Amino acid sequence: MNTKLRRNQILCIRTNQEFITKFDSLCERLGYNRSEVIRYCLKRFFNEHFNNSENFKRARSDLF
């Protein structure tokens, strides 16, 4: 029996209705569902910021 199953995970965020409306509009314009758009955005952010110290510092200061 394979004890190391890889499963899809659910990632949730809390947000307001305005964000959902805008995000759904963006997804519709792009022609992709929410999951695909979120994966794209997070992957792009990760690739541009995680290993670049300047971009990472800028993102950190923007968040806080």
- Structure pTM? 0.73
Q: pLDDT digit of tens for each residue in the chain (64 aa)?
A: 556 667 778 888 999 999 999 999 999 999 999 999 999 999 999 999 888 989 889 999 998 7
Distance CA 27, CA 3 (A): 36
Find where tokens 């997804």 sit. 27
Query: Which of 14, 43, 38, 42 is CA-nearest to residue 27?
Result: 38
How much is the pLDDT for 2?
Answer: 55
